[in-house]
A and B are shown apart, each in its own frame.
Chain A
Amino acid sequence: MNVLSQTSAAEHSLEEGARGAKAPHVHLKGVTRIYPAVANNPEVHALASTDLDLPQGSFFSLIGPSGCGKSTLLDIVAGLASPTEGTVMFEGKRIEGRPPEGVGVVFQEDSSFPWLTVWNNVAFGLRRKRIDKAEMAKRVDAILAFTGLSDFAQAYPAQLSGGMRQRVCIARTLVLQPRLILLDEPFGALDQQTRLLMGDELLRIWRETGATIMMITHSLDEAAMLADHVGVMSARPGKFIEIIETGWPRDRTSEIVSEARFGSITAHMWSLLREESQKAMKAR
């Protein structure tokens, strides 16, 4: 059995019988989020009405000025927060403030468990699912090999570098075979070289798992290199001002950063973002 195998969105939709084979894997309609006033802090309109459809197996990046609601949007899709208005569907089923089965999140902060070894960190989610021990060991070992962590299986996160710990978090998410992977600036704390290499690994994971990926990043280069589509968001209240199609082949690597078109994509992103970033800075 291929431990990285996925159930396709089409199969899922057929099982659910809800939206048919052509339904988007993730569907957002009129999603808004308003944080109510608390004590001396006024109400915050984080997200304006947002629509988005992500096909199965696509790679979508989100960029925007600080505080524009990117993480709020990701939390809503993950089921960690509820929208004030609008609907979010995953595989034809509505997400209502509870993480759905089949969705995995990798956070910007190191979320590895320091009291567990790398092996036990990765096995954590499988243990909760009461998976047979032999099957669990097989899946954990396979994911560790896949993410290049086999030699560190018995190490504790404190013994690893930041990039390795982030790999542990990715492995812990992948072992559960998510069909939708949400990444909230997963490489934010890493240096530029490590980010490029981790980006290559992420592309490999994306190709081999066939999962849909939605990733927040502050790096225009990272967004342009990794994604099929890049959603550029406005200053708060955040909404998509443009969704840019990168047009890269599926088997791309970080080598595309040397192509001329890469420069024009990032330049276009910046032309869209510059004014919004200035607005966000003035609002702070």
Chain B
Amino acid sequence: MSKAGWIRLVIVIAFFGALEIMCRIGWIDRLTMIPPTEMAEALWSMLLAGSITEDVLYSLRNTVAAVALSVLAGFVCGVIVHALPRLRRILDPLFASYYAVPVFVFYPLLVVIFGINATPLILIGAMFGIVAMLISTLTGLDRVPRVMFKSARMFQLDPLRSALLIKLPSAAPHLITGVKLAVVYSVIAVVAGEFILSSKGIGHRIAYAYNDFDSRTMYGLLLLLLTAVTVVTMSLHMWEHRLHSRWAKQ
């Protein structure tokens, strides 16, 4: 591990250590927060008992579906918009202001249309991630060096092969950035959606535990969520970093 990695690890351990001490000596009320070791213990017992398996799988399925939808739709729309500069000029201001729109206001509407099931959750998750992916696709395609297009022509590639074999790999580091953002946004949207109006899922269980003053379950699930999202985004970040450094010399 690099020096920065070690420093990062020390900061995280110090943070949790400080939290543990403050909870143990009573500086933080147990009703407000339980010590991190108890969170881990609570999570471990819930996993062993299988009491959260169904909710975890439900949230996981919805998140994967939302990420897949936002990445696929964002990528396809990005490629189309990139190929149509006039359309892009019209849409650019809308993309720039998209995240100023509280997309969540559409969630009740989606519930009315599709009912209280997974579909509104998946759609709201996808709506959160799609523009991040679209903008990353546009950035990636904008940064494909012109010489790559010339190379594609010299190899006599048709437009589809040129896109698949040259443009896409060339834009890959930016596409991974889009995937990373889509994952983060989709998780936020899906879990928040479960908080508000759902009968299943991690978000629902956290909200239920919160209303029931069940700190062990609530913090155990929060720890699971934080750990899972951190591991996924850190893995994507490392992949992204590796691609950027490999592509950087171009």
Contacts and interface: CB of A to CB of B under 8 A. Distances in A.
Note whether A and B form a binding pair: yes
Interface in A102-127: 103-105, 107, 109-115, 124-125
A84 B18 CA distance: 74
A80 interface: yes
A230 B166 CA distance: 35
Contact of A111 (B147, B245, B246): B147
Nearest to A161: B249
Contacts of A125: 155
Contacts of A78: 154
Contacts of A124: 155
Given A80-B150, A107-B150, A114 B155 contact: no
Interface residues of B, number: 22
Interface in B214-250: 245-250
Interface in A70-123: 78, 80, 99, 103-105, 107, 109-115
Given A158-B248, A158-B249, A99 B157 contact: no
B233 to A, nearest CB: 23
Interface string B137-165: 00000000111101101111100010000
B172 A115 contact: yes
Contacts of A80: 150, 153-154
A114 B154 contact: no
B145 A109 contact: yes
Given A109-B147, A113-B166, A158-B245, A128 B250 contact: no
A65 interface: no
A103 B154 CA distance: 8
Contacts of A115: 169-170, 172, 246-247
A24 to B, nearest CB: 22
B169 A113 contact: yes
Nearest to A99: B154
Contacts of A110: 147, 249-250
Nearest to B245: A158
A157 interface: yes
Interface size class of A (residues with CB under 8 A): 20 to 34
Contact of A128 (B146, B157, B169): B157
Contacts, number: 53
Given A124-B155, A125-B155, A128-B157, A114 B148 contact: no
A156 interface: yes
Contact of B250 (A99, A104, A114): A114
Contacts of B146: 109
Nearest to B148: A111
A172 B169 CA distance: 18
A107 B170 CA distance: 17
Interface in B147-198: 147-148, 150-151, 153-157, 161, 166, 169-170, 172
Interface in A196-245: none
A156 B155 CA distance: 20
Q: Which of A109, A124, A156, A165 has the most CB of B within 10 A?
A: A109
A114 B247 contact: yes
Given A114-B246, A114-B247, A115-B172, A128 B156 contact: yes
Contacts of B248: 158
Contacts of B153: 80, 99
A104 B154 contact: yes
A99 B156 contact: yes
Contacts of B249: 110, 114, 157-158, 165
A104 B150 CA distance: 11
A124 B153 CA distance: 13
B246 A156 contact: yes
B208 to A, nearest CB: 47
A111 to B, nearest CB: 5
Contacts of A104: 154
A128 B151 contact: no
A124 B154 CA distance: 12
A111 B166 CA distance: 11
Contact of B147 (A103, A107, A128, A158): A107
A99 B162 CA distance: 15
B51 to A, nearest CB: 45
Given A78-B154, A105-B154, A109-B146, 4 more contacts: A113-B169, A114-B246, A115-B170, A158-B245
7 contacts: A78-B154, A107-B150, A109-B145, A113-B166, A128-B156, A158-B246, A158-B247
Interface of B: 145-148, 150-151, 153-157, 161, 166, 169-170, 172, 245-250
Interface of A: 78, 80, 99, 103-105, 107, 109-115, 124-125, 128, 156-158, 165
**Which 5 A-B pairs rank lowest in CB-CB distance, beginning with the nearest?**
A109-B147, A115-B169, A111-B147, A158-B246, A114-B247
